[in-house]
Amino acid sequence: MERSRECPMKCKHLTKDNLCTGKYSGYACIKTQCPSFKDAQKCEHHEMTGDYCKKYGRFGCVGKESCNTLSEYLEAVAEEEQS
């Protein structure tokens, strides 16, 4: 695959083949049009080069409303994985 066609973000919902396993499961990454990407961009702890949370040192942004404490963050991650 050409470098220019790869998704620039390292999303936890992305497979090696650049397919989404999250909200748009089975489809190619839509990059900056993705609601998860847009939400993550609003957070001061979000690493701009990928879907990485600098506050908790983990991949995946759960939204500012769910990351006040580590337990709250992990609970949101668990809920997201179950859905």
Asked if residue 7 has pLDDT above 60, the reply is no
What is the predicted pLDDT for the residue at 10?
62
70's CB contacts (< 8 A; 6+ apart) are 56
28 DSSP β-pair partners: 19
Q: Would you give the distance in Å from CA 1 to the centre of its chain? A: 22
Asked if residue 65 has pLDDT above 70, the reply is yes
**For residue range 18-64, what is the model confidence (pLDDT) as tens digits?**
888 888 888 888 877 888 777 777 788 877 666 788 899 888 777 77
Cα distances (Å, whole numbers) of residue 12 to 37, 62, 78 = 11, 11, 13
What is the predicted pLDDT for the residue at 18?
82
Task: Annotate 22-61 with b (16+ C-beta within 10 A) or e (fewer).
Answer: bebeeeebeeeebebbeebeebeebeeeebbbeebebebb
Q: Where are the domains of the chain?
A: 3-82
